Structure 1
Amino acid sequence: MLNFAVRSGTGLEIWNIQNKDGTTASSRQFKPFFKEAKSARAMTCSSNFFAYGNSVDGVKVYNSKMELKFVVPRTKAYIIKFSPKESFLIIYEIFASSKENSDNPNLFFYDTSTGEEKCNFVMKRHSEWEPYFAQDESFFAIMLNNEICFYENFVKTSQKLSGKVGGFSVSPGASHVAVYIRGEKGSPSMCRLFKYPNINTNPVSSKTFAQADKVEMIWNNKGTGCLIMTSMDVDSTGVSYYGKQALHFLATSGDSYSVPLSAEGPIHAVSWSPKSNQFIVVYGYIPAKTTLFNFKCDSVFDFGTGIRNSIYFNDFGNLVLFGGFGNLKGQIEVWDLIKKKQVSMSLATDTTLVQWAPSGDLYFTATTAPRLRQGNGFKIWHYSGALLFEMMWPEKQELLELMWQKSPENTFKEMPINYDKVEGVQSVQKQASDKKYVPPNVRAFGEDSTSSGAPAAQGPIPGLPPGYTSSKSQSASKGRYNQRRKPQSSNSATEGKTDKDDDDRKKSSGIKKKLKDIKILKEKLEKGEKLDKNQLNKITLEADLNKELAALKLS
């Protein structure tokens, strides 16, 4: 039996999926069995609990039979989570200071067996609010006043890490802590792995790299390896408008590597296999390259290039889904990782959420607000590419979130992969145009530029004249560019630029920086991260910024 939760502007629903005859995938029935008419601001599912919060009742916690267990009077809950063993409920509210009290707690821990509050914290930074529990819940770590503090049974220990700490993460499985330490001028940044509680001794492994504006730490399920993705908003070499990214690897055994990526361009997605022995990276300019790496960061399989920017493994790691979402048209590929063979290809336009079911054979795609406010709805697919169920939301009603309920361990077993497409239903959603996708950075050179064998041109670099690319791509595109550019008049300046051109370039560069920030926020939304009101408002400015940028190009 499979359950999933649906949160919308009109309330909450819990749906159940059952096989009518118990044999075929296409005979499954989809029905809601629990409904709550009040809208909810947040929800979460675990294998034993379901919880949601609204501005009237606070946070309600139900058991697996959907019987109300207790209510927590937190009417401003923004994010709700359970600890790894579901012993504690974690509630986070957006920090809001008041004249009466500037230190109101906004992070709370509750015992799920009694509903009793265990402790609370004041977390003023939205980017650093999250506590990290060890898998066995023997301790948790949290960032307080630029220090990583550790708590055992909600009592602060003497262990702590301070200094130029830019972020951290606690591993699942073995209790290791990954710490990002910012570099100062003239010195590199680094990431270190410590074994708790010996965090003030020498690290078990360490990796240095150039300074980074952002670092993302991605652990495998066993907690034996951590991928470190570093990002710089601006590429100082001038090669890429998208900034500069790199991928590194640290192992609890002491090994450390830089992951070799064989194509220039951004890193779109990185994901570990649930088996913890391999990981996949989607990288490079669209059509992006996709590579499978082993635990020593050796390339072991090339999936070729495609219109992809995301990766989703099922819980068993025998199937992987590659998607082209966001600004792409919604193409989906499902691959068999055992045979290294593509199983199916389908299309789910305007997708903002994707998640595999615990059974490993189904996944949903959804179009949700606030990312998109039209065409909201969700679809449930079989890995063979068959659409099994579709639910479209009425106009002016918003679908906000979907979530599969987790299942107890060993509820489902890994099934053999069948290449026969099962019977499905016909979608009522209007399909996108089949017109060939041409990346923005090569549109000036014609639609055939991505398949002509010539290297794809890179995007424009802020502050430089139109038509300029990097030195590597400039020679490849020079001939085509010269054929298309308009001849200059005989009295045009050959050196320098006018004051107006300088002002326009500065404005253009500023707008592109804002659009890049919006792109990052949209990617966070697509990954299911919560954004505050200011961040959501920034996203709504995208259309106006694009118009302003287009006007500057025409002036």
Structure 2
Amino acid sequence: MEDGQPIDQLDNIIIVDGLPVVPPEKYDKLHALIKKISNSFGCVTQRFELPKDEKDFTTGFAFVEYQSKAEAERAITKMHGQSLDKKHVFAVCLFTDWLKFKDIPDEYVEPKEEAYQPEENMMGWLLDEAAREQYLVRHDKETEVWWNDPLVLGKQSVAQKRKDWTEYIARWSPLGTYMATFHTQGVQLWGGPDFKSLGRFPHTQVQLIDFSPNEKFLVTWFNNLTVWDVKTKQKLRIFPGGPTPDHGWPVFKWSHDEAYLAKITEDNIHIFDSSTMKLVQPDPKKATTLFIPRVRAFDWSPTENILSYWVPEDGDKPARVVLLKLTINKKGEVVFEQVTQKNLFRVVDIKMHWQSNGEFLCVKVDRYSKSSNDKKKVTNFELFRMKAKAIAVDVVELTEEVIAFAWEPKGSRFAVIHGDNPQRYSVSFYTMGNPKNGQVKLLKSLPKKSANHLFWSPKGTHIVIAGLKSFNGILEFWNVQELELTGGGEHFMCTDVEWDPSGRYVATSVSYYRHQMENGYTLWTFQGKQFLSLAREKFLQFQWRPRPASVLDEKRLKGIQRTIKDRAARYQEEEKAFEKMEAENITRQKKEKMDQFRKFVKETKEAMAVFTERRRAQRKNCGWHSDDESCYRTTEEYVEELISFEEEELA
């Protein structure tokens, strides 16, 4: 097991107090007795000491070092409060705990009362009256946070901008509370209305970071993996290693409730308890959580503590996809229960895709065709219904190459790009129907599409079908509920597409990291109408600010959706009034500028008249006025001049 080194190298040492005070002649006997008792709870190292005073009497306590912190804690649990004899009771603690409390004064000193300082509202941007979204932009050395103002005639207002705010990249936390910036010394978090510094996490030359789903933990990487508590900024544990070609970033995958973080190594899946950062060991004899020979990949359900993993074929043994449920029994022990298993044959590769609500799991299986002699690959989608009894599995087979797959967020539909001709790919939409007992059904197939990426709205229903890289940024906006094309366009050399968290707007951009030309970003409505396009030299990054999940339950959300049409007219009137007000503001601003210009011209002419009289008075004997220098008449005369003459006799 690739175990991490402890933060404190002294946490495997305990202090045993309450021992008899004995003279030198009884020292060896007491030493042997206490060491024997200590060895019964773990392996004691050579550092076992019974301190003596100046008269060579023992002092009534001992230092005992174990090989691990776990053994030391076990010894404390077993020994503390136990009697050695009628007069002596063990009092045991960690040496590190003694270091923490040894300097506490015996007399209580009442702390000074500090004035209350109200904390800043970390969710202030969510209270915007116009419900605007924020987004992060980086170009050259500038880092900017903007408000999206689609109604202000294409203008945007800046919330914060700073030069050299980050040395590498910047990114939002999953709920949008923090903005992280990268520096040579480590990571820094910012937030609040004025984006004040909220904490530093030192990690020299840090390259990658990952937040836990609810932003409680932060993982940083360069040369090693460090797990931090975001609130306290405390370093919780250091793990060796990092991303590899087979297992990229993030190395740790979090359970939906942040209770566990897990990573994969050869033949093992290691799961750690986030409250202690200790390895979950169902079998104390094994230094791992799950020993699974040849395991290739795993993933967590986004809504339950269910783990999915797959193992390739081994001789006559088929490949298999296994789902394990992690539970806690009455004794407080972690128990793994196998929920289901699917055996598969002729497997080349497997990819697992969880639907955002955890209702479905798609296992994309690339395999060799049975009848093909040229080893032609086909793709099966093994679709697990997690809410059905016994977890039913539907199968969809495609004989063409699959380019992309994507679930509809919070929905039952999925989209697939497939085909053997790069210029004639097809895009197909399917529905799973009822999560418990529905049937897979093809809704529509769109042939001859120049597309290789799928981007669902985070609210579902709408999707952007995009052709990036060699397809030069061809975009189509579809309403999958109505199966209709709502808009389209092209963003030449487009490298990135991203929906805002409300599902109302889409950003497309060309990053300087990929292309050194056409850098900038464009904003679109969900229906494919472009309303802003900005070119930025050395444009690097665009990222919408995430929003936390709604506090409303599903019932209330559906009630709001049912009555949205009744309020649509009011919203439209408010938008028209806002647009009218903005137009009036622009007209007023233009008029004010024109009035200022006319006033300037008038004042300048009046001043010029005064100075003209003064100059004429000073030059009254010159016979001319300097103000009349521009009053003249131009006369043009044409003069012909013979330059050369040559006479030639013709035959």
Give the TM-score band, short-chain normalised: 0.5 to 0.7
Q: For each residue in 1:92-131, what CA deviation from the matched residue of structure 2 results, as whole angstroms up to 9, or x when unmatched?
A: 33x4xxxxxxxxxx21211111111111211244243521
Q: How do residues 353-432 of structure 1 correspond to structure 2 at under 5 angstroms?
A: 353-394=496-537, 397=538, 399-410=539-550
Distance in 1 between residues matched to 2:485 and 2:182, nearest whole Å: 43
2:312 is the alignment partner of 1:182: yes
Distance in 2 between residues matched to 1:50 and 1:233, nearest whole Å: 47
Q: For each residue in 1:356-402, what CA deviation from the matched residue of structure 2 results, as whole angstroms up to 9, or x when unmatched?
A: 011211110111143323222111111232222222222xx3x3322
Q: CA deviation at 1:173?
A: 0.7
Distance in 1 between residues matched to 2:304 and 2:242, nearest whole Å: 30
Q: Is the 8 A contact 1:215 1:228 kept in 2?
A: yes
Distance in 2 between residues matched to 1:234 and 1:405, nearest whole Å: 45
Change (3 A) 1:405 1:183: same
Relative to the length of structure 1, the TM-score reads 0.65
Q: For each residue in 1:437-476, what CA deviation from the matched residue of structure 2 results, as whole angstroms up to 9, or x when unmatched?
A: xxxxxxxxxxxxxxxxxxxxxxxxxxxxxxxxxxxxxxxx
Q: CA deviation at 1:35?
A: 2.1
Distance in 2 between residues matched to 1:370 and 1:289, nearest whole Å: 30
Q: Is the 8 A contact 2:299 2:352 kept in 1?
A: yes
What is the aligned partner in structure 2 of residue 155 from structure 1? 278
Change (3 A) 1:55 1:261: same
Q: CA deviation at 1:15?
A: 1.8
Which among 196, 199, 224 is matched to residue 67 of structure 1?
Answer: 196
Q: How do residues 217-256 of structure 1 correspond to structure 2 at under 5 angstroms?
A: 217-231=352-366, 237=372, 245-252=379-386, 253=388, 254-256=390-392
Which among 173, 179, 182 is matched to residue 303 of structure 2?
Answer: 173
Which among 38, 45, 58 is matched to residue 186 of structure 2?
Answer: 58
Q: CA deviation at 1:220?
A: 0.8
Relative to the length of structure 2, the TM-score reads 0.56
Q: CA deviation at 1:265?
A: 2.5
Q: Is the 8 A contact 1:43 1:80 kept in 2?
A: no
2:152 is the alignment partner of 1:17: no
Distance in 1 between residues matched to 2:520 and 2:254, nearest whole Å: 34
What is the aligned partner in structure 1 of residue 425 from structure 2? 288
CA RMSD of aligned residues (A): 3.2
Q: CA deviation at 1:320?
A: 1.1
Q: Is the 8 A contact 1:176 1:223 kept in 2?
A: no
Distance in 2 between residues matched to 1:86 and 1:227, nearest whole Å: 27
2:121 is the alignment partner of 1:3: no
Change (3 A) 1:324 1:259: farther
What is the aligned partner in structure 1 of residue 125 from structure 2? none
What is the aligned partner in structure 2 of residue 133 from structure 1? 254
More off after superposition, 57-66 vs 316-325: 57-66
Q: Is the 8 A contact 1:353 1:365 kept in 2?
A: yes
Q: Which amino acid aligns with 2:226?
A: F
Which among 215, 231, 236 is matched to residue 86 of structure 1?
Answer: 215
Q: Is the 8 A contact 1:215 1:229 kept in 2?
A: yes
2:243 is the alignment partner of 1:114: no
Distance in 2 between residues matched to 1:67 and 1:201, nearest whole Å: 44
Change (3 A) 1:200 1:188: farther
Q: For each residue in 1:466-503, what CA deviation from the matched residue of structure 2 results, as whole angstroms up to 9, or x when unmatched?
A: xxxxxxxxxxxxxxxxxxxxxxxxxxxxxxxxxxxxxx
Q: CA deviation at 1:235?
A: 11
Q: For each residue in 1:246-267, what CA deviation from the matched residue of structure 2 results, as whole angstroms up to 9, or x when unmatched?
A: 43222334435464245x4321
Q: For each residue in 1:1-55, what CA deviation from the matched residue of structure 2 results, as whole angstroms up to 9, or x when unmatched?
A: 2111123442422222235xxxx48555243523242553343213343343434
Q: Which amino acid aligns with 2:440?
A: D
Q: Is the 8 A contact 1:44 1:81 kept in 2?
A: no
Distance in 2 between residues matched to 1:214 and 1:7, nearest whole Å: 37
What SS does structure 1 have at the residue aligned with 2:156?
Answer: strand
Change (3 A) 1:363 1:260: same
Change (3 A) 1:236 1:274: same
Distance in 2 between residues matched to 1:235 and 1:107, nearest whole Å: 44
Q: How do residues 27-46 of structure 1 correspond to structure 2 at under 5 angstroms?
A: 27=154, 29-31=156-158, 33-46=160-173
What is the aligned partner in structure 1 of residue 91 from structure 2? none
Distance in 1 between residues matched to 2:311 and 2:494, nearest whole Å: 36
Q: Is the 8 A contact 2:394 2:440 kept in 1?
A: no
Distance in 2 between residues matched to 1:257 and 1:371, nearest whole Å: 41
Percent identity among equivalent residues? 17
What SS does structure 1 have at the residue aligned with 2:170?
Answer: strand
Distance in 2 between residues matched to 1:56 and 1:86, nearest whole Å: 23
Q: Which amino acid aligns with 1:169?
A: D
Q: Which amino acid aligns with 1:155?
A: K
2:444 is the alignment partner of 1:302: yes
Which among 206, 211, 216 is matched to residue 77 of structure 1?
Answer: 206
Q: Whose Rg is larger?
A: 2
Q: Is the 8 A contact 1:207 1:250 kept in 2?
A: no
Distance in 2 between residues matched to 1:407 and 1:281, nearest whole Å: 28
What SS does structure 2 have at the residue aligned with 1:280?
Answer: strand
Q: Which amino acid aligns with 2:147?
A: N
What is the aligned partner in structure 1 of residue 396 from structure 2? 260
Distance in 1 between residues matched to 2:533 and 2:232, nearest whole Å: 39
Where do 5+ consecutive residues of structure 2 fail to align? 1-131, 283-288, 329-333, 433-437, 552-556, 580-651
What SS does structure 2 have at the residue aligned with 1:18?
Answer: coil
What SS does structure 2 have at the residue aligned with 1:33?
Answer: strand
Q: CA deviation at 1:237?
A: 4.5
Change (3 A) 1:71 1:329: same
Distance in 1 between residues matched to 2:140 and 2:315, nearest whole Å: 49
Distance in 1 between residues matched to 2:357 and 2:396, nearest whole Å: 23
Q: Is the 8 A contact 1:43 1:79 kept in 2?
A: no
Q: For each residue in 1:118-150, what CA deviation from the matched residue of structure 2 results, as whole angstroms up to 9, or x when unmatched?
A: 112112442435212121112222224541111
Distance in 2 between residues matched to 1:282 and 1:406, nearest whole Å: 27
Q: Which amino acid aligns with 1:218?
A: H
Q: Where has structure 1 moved over 6 Å in runs of 4 or more?
A: 232-236, 411-418
